[in-house]
DNA sequence: TAACGAAGTTAGATTAATCTAACAAATTTT
DNA sequence: AAAATTTGTTAGATTAATCTAACTTCGTTA
């Protein structure tokens, strides 16, 4: 029986290796970092995951998910995003509130629950942050997207998802007048720090490069 | 922060002491029994619960919940029954399937979730087994009920709740043609073993005393 | 009331998940 | 290539929840 901790590690590895543009392997420290544990702890867990054949990794080497590990991770991601959608669509949660509770709900073990929840939500394709929801077979509908930081000055684009799911970031995004599907026009960009001025619904704001890199657009 | 195990112990104590007719205190062994752990384990946990002032108990003495402990237990019962209702009403679960999943869902920590779930379900008063759902203040609408074993021969009564929530028992109840609100007529009762013949929708069945004691009627 | 069986407790071990501190290897910088 | 920095590992300790085996206390019955 897979534990909650194990599910969290596999999910984190999936985010690091499969959902990151141009990355297919992860390191102990970055894994520890996003799980908010010490590297020693992650290292200890890695040994267990390797033993169970959910990751492949050798001492001092890089970490990758095995097929089995990836499929377990995707199942957890699927549950996470279905629950976020449920909270948002049915229980009046805002998009900055759903993540924390979904972190707990994703660990509930019941195949029927997931299947019925998906039907109840009418087979949603994306969660409240614009991220794709894997289907029952573990297939993920990939959307070609880039970050706002990569868009040229003068162009207009549409926000389709956010990278950082923290409530502080999401609340800031709302404050900028942004939500999923918002049209964003790039007014100007500073060369030296990558900060930029954008226009949303006729309102102009200045945002840092860091912020722009956390907004995915098409 | 209260752990899942602690919540399970408090809930079990609540069932033993507050929801059992004519019982206000529990023993270590029966507590261990319903939680499916060894007496030594329960004893160990009892020390922690006492330390946290959620139970009052002295070595070799009886166990009772403190006010704080009772209120925590009721909150967990409330969540359990709301989730059971959700699974039954919205996700097409049958009444013998809801308990196991609710055992997990009851531990999710989010006040907003509980409050919104209750609203979403339109403030249900009872769960799929006929048990009352405590309100947000922890108040429970008590219904005067007796077990089928106590009903006189010749009388007709109505099933309002079941004591045993195990799926094997619930499936047996369904097989008898029974569900909540079913009318049951007592045809006869054997003196020596308390078994009885009942009639439900013109169909007669014979049930043991044990079964009759697990059916609550008015 | 003494003994017996039931109920309850203690001691010591185990497992999972975490930590700190010290150490080792790998990579980058000078 | 040596030094410095970053990355990763090990050893040992801690906490929560569980177990088994042995022991103690309680309550009932002869
Ligand atoms: Mn989680
Ligand atoms: Mn999300
Ligand atoms: Mn439970
Ligand atoms: Mn119930």
Domain layout of chain A by residue ranges: 4-65, 146-217
Residues of B31-50 as b/e, b for ≥16 C-beta within 10 angstroms? bbeebebeeebbbebbeebb
Nearest CA in chain B to A101: B110
Contact between A79 and B108 (Cβ < 8 Å): no
Contact between A161 and A180 (Cβ < 8 Å): yes
Q: What is the rounded CA–CA span in Å between residue B100 and residue B123?
A: 22
- Reported in sequence order, the residue ranges of chain B that DSSP labels E, i.e. its strands, are 55-56, 64-65, 146-147, 156-162, 183-189, 196-200, 203-207, 215-217
Nearest CA in chain A to B101: A110
* pLDDT tens for each residue of A121-137: 999 999 999 999 999 99
The neighbour count for residue B172, using CB atoms within 10 Å, is 16
Cβ of residue A37 near strand C, that is under 7 Å?
yes
* Nucleotide lying nearest to B62, CA to C1' measure: C8
**Residue A20 pLDDT grade (very low, low, confident, very high; cuts 50, 70, 90):** confident
Task: Indicate the pTM of the whole model.
Answer: 0.94
B4-65: what fold? Arc Repressor Mutant, subunit A (1.10.10)
Q: What is the rounded CA–CA span in Å between residue A81 and residue B173?
A: 37
Half-sphere exposure of B184 (CA within 13 A, CB side): 33
Contact between A136 and A118 (Cβ < 8 Å): yes
Residue B175 host element (H or E): helix B167-175
Task: Show Cβ contacts of residue A171 under 8 Å, excluding neighbours closer than 6 positions.
Answer: A96
Q: What is the rounded CA–CA span in Å between residue B134 and residue B125?
A: 8
* pLDDT tens for each residue of A31-65: 999 999 999 999 999 999 999 999 999 999 999 99
Q: What is the rounded CA–CA span in Å between residue A1 and residue A13?
A: 19
| CATH class, range B146-217 | mainly beta
Q: How distant is C1' of D30 from CA of A203, in Å?
A: 94
Share of chain B above pLDDT 70, in %: 100
How many angstroms is it from A35 CA to the middle of ligand 1?
Answer: 10
* pLDDT tens for each residue of B190-200: 988 889 999 99
* pLDDT tens for each residue of B152-207: 999 999 999 999 988 999 999 999 999 999 999 999 999 888 899 999 999 999 99
Contact between B23 and B65 (Cβ < 8 Å): no
Nucleotides of C under 7 A from a protein CB: 7-12, 16-22, 25-26
Residue among A58, A102, A77, A95 at smallest CA distance from A18? A77
């Amino acid at each position: 029986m897979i534990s909650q901790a194990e599910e969290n590690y596999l999910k984190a590895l999936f985010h690091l290796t499969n959902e990151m543009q141009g990355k297919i392997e992860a390191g102990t420290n970055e894994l520890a970092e996003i799980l908010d544990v010490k590297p020693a702890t992650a290292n200890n867990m890695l040994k267990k995951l390797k033993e169970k054949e959910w990751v492949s990794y050798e001492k001092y080497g890089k970490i990758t998910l095995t097929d089995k590990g990836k499929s377990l991770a995707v199942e957890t991601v699927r549950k996470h995003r279905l629950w976020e959608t449920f909270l948002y669509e049915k229980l009046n949660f805002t998009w900055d509130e759903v993540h924390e509770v979904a972190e707990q709900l994703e660990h509930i073990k019941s195949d029927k629950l997931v299947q019925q929840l998906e039907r109840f939500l009418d087979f949603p394709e994306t969660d409240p942050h614009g991220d794709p929801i894997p289907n029952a077979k573990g297939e993920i509908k990939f959307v070609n997207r880039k970050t706002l930081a990569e868009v040229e000055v003068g162009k207009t684009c549409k926000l389709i998802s956010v990278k950082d799911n923290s409530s502080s970031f999401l609340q800031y995004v709302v404050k900028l007048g942004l939500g999923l599907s918002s049209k964003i026009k790039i007014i100007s960009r500073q060369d030296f720090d990558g900060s930029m001025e954008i226009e949303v619904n006729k309102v102009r704001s200045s945002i840092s490069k860091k912020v722009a890199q956390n907004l995915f657009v098409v």
